[in-house]
A and B are shown apart, each in its own frame.
Chain A
């Protein structure tokens, strides 16, 4: 099922991934962000944003249409990229030292960006204004926010923290809707389902917990990973979940059967991020990054009709 592997795309481990119908953006310890073709079966390198982040890039988030991307680097800077003209579009850079940003998430239309910082502040930014304006600043318990996510309609925000805390905010009212409890280990990824009704949470507790956003109740768990789960992502229609873990395994889960459909990856090296390829009518294709960039075709196996 591995359709293609780009080895040595970067000279170090690849931490960041953003997939649009056109480009696969990847960021690593090197300063450049690389753009490989998503649609071409050979996945050639199309462009490279050189010197995007001096110390390397650990997060990339792309809008659904693939017009805009944001990236955050180890030095704490956030850069906004125009993917139509392949140029730098702006920067979010008014953070002080204690407020260094780690996680980022771009809204589906690319107009808003959610950031989570080391001191637990979750901020919502409006990117279309010039200069970039801060719309919301949610304060949490001063614990490192490892991951954030915006719902598809942009109305909800979620953050996952090192202490195991998960918070859901309403961007319309600026209030915290839920503080989801029950997890005590670092939360590494939160992801709203495309409908915005469910929230998938994964981390070092080795399971993927699914919460109901409306009630804040934990609906069920997906059990199967045996080590830290680094990322979780939904397929276009919300039928499948893909998760990647520290031991190099990528698992695809069916939401209908609530079970693991496929387990991919034999490298044993950490897979930092997995993402479905947004492409209609072709099965659930998957991209993962870790030591290499790997493309999988129809990763969900037989399930797709």
Chain B
């Protein structure tokens, strides 16, 4: 009998634990310091490397150094969107509260990263293409990504009920997922000013190692930073939603 019961649990135990807001609050509290230190070191080291030691581009000169924040923020903005849609789907299918909270936490973070990618792109575009903005496929699809994030945030603030808001935003996020491959292949499908991807899984980067190594450091640093900010936002959302529960009450009184 006992064996039969364990066989029925085809989902691993941590998956159920993740569903507990309190367990999630505790585990993120333990993970935060490590990720914070890692993010700080990688971003500081990467910035010094990018600004002082990486060579200037032979055509673009020093404006090339903008790549070290433009590419990581653009990649993160898309990763964050996929995570938001995935968490939203998990919330829809398994009615998992924590997944809803993760999806909600992703929206403002992703919006700010998309904004950063667009802003640095515009600043880079001015000296390189001679224009702050062109209605190019890559730029336009990235702008749509920003609007999708803003749409999710607007829905969250418009709908009072937390679970209804989670359902509607999850549907919006899933529909908007179609934009992600459009962003990725926009530089191949349409004639564009935008240069193709720096990092590809199957090929070596076209730029020399002394240029792409600091970029890799910045990218990993941005991922660590993303983890830190997402956990901070998630913890706030957990506390807000669970504010009536006894463990949050105990936490408040123990301060």
Q: Do A and B come from one complex?
A: no
Interface residues of B, Cβ cutoff 8 Å to A: none
